[in-house]
């Protein structure tokens, strides 16, 4: 095997409750991560040397800060592997949308190179490595829709109905760090028990602040709510709504405001990356 192509799927936060601020500056939160069946795609090709070379359909993303490169170099160093690879990133998810694209790309890189380089690391080891890159990376390594606590790394898989979602991203980029550092962010939502997740009152503690700081997000939500109940995912800017079927979601997408981009995806309980990895056996 010299080449592997794998998906890097998006996620939605069906709710995001911030329960307190930690002494290390991060926040304790509770959230329900819904994986989708759509996202980016990465192709990994073995090289004859130890170099790691990234290319992308968006040339602006080819830099040393890209999480794909950081994940690849970290895994290479951690494993003392002398193999290299060419990586092609087909970027489809919007940047700064709250859909987890960068974290998902990093997770798929860890999974893909673990297979391509025949390293044999467990999911636990890869998730622990991924956490060094970002709190959402372990979610995508494990590849299961999950209730999450801590900074988002304490995961409890949960099965949800596989609903159809319309995901809409207005034309703005939101800094996660800016939102979490803002003094007006809600930080005192009471914790809920894992057993009560499906009956709790869901909301996104970041949404009121983001709507105030980025009016285009509020305007997009006002448009989408005409078709279905909607909310923001993560720290935005993307918003989403669940629909009973593909046709009704397509009807809303056909009337998308010109300032937005959107896509329809199905919520899945297991990431398609696992089926793709199985196909490489």
236: left (phi over 0), alpha (psi -120 to 50) or beta: left
**β-bridge mates for residue 46, sequence order:** 85
Return the number of other C-beta atoms located less than 10 Å from residue 264's C-beta: 16
- Catalytic residue positions, numbered: 11, 136
Provide Rg for the chain, Cα atoms.
19
Distances (CA, A) of 165 to 89, 240, 245, 247: 24, 7, 9, 11
Distance between CA atoms of 161 and 268, rounded to whole angstroms? 8
* DSSP, residue by residue, 132-151: TT-TTHHHHHHTB-EEEETT
DSSP 3-state of 20: strand
Quote the strand ranges of the chain, DSSP E: 3-21, 27-46, 52-56, 85-90, 146-149, 154-157, 164-170, 230-232, 239-243, 260-268
Encoded tokens for 185: 């962010």
């Amino acid at each position: 095997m010299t080449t592997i192509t794998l998906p890097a799927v998006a996620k939605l936060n069906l709710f995001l409750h911030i329960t307190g601020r930690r002494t290390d500056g991060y926040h304790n939160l509770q959230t329900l991560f819904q994986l989708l069946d759509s996202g980016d795609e990465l192709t990994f090709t073995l090289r004859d040397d130890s170099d790691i070379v990234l290319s992308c359909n968006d040339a602006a993303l080819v830099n040393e800060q890209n999480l794909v490169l950081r994940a690849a170099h970290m895994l290479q160093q951690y494993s003392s592997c002398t193999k290299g690879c060419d990586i092609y990133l087909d970027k489809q998810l919007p940047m700064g949308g709250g859909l987890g694209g960068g974290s998902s790309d990093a997770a798929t890189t860890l999974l893909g190179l673990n297979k391509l380089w025949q390293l044999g690391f467990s999911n636990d080891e890869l998730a622990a490595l991924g956490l060094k890159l970002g709190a959402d990376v372990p979610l995508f390594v494990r590849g299961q829709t999950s209730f999450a606590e801590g900074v988002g790394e304490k995961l409890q898989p949960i099965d949800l109905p596989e609903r159809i979602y319309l995901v809409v991203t207005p034309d703005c980029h939101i800094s996660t760090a800016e939102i979490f550092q803002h003094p007006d962010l809600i930080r005192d939502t009471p914790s809920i028990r894992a057993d009560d997740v499906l009956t709790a009152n869901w909301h996104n503690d970041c949404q009121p602040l983001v709507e105030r700081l980025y009016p285009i997000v509020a305007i997009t939500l006002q448009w989408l709510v005409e078709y279905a109940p909607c909310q923001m995912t993560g720290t935005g800017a993307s918003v989403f709504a669940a629909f009973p079927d593909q046709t009704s979601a397509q009807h809303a997408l056909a009337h998308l405001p010109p300032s937005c981009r959107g896509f329809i995806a199905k919520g899945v309980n297991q990431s398609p990356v696992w089926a793709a990895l199985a196909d490489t056996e």
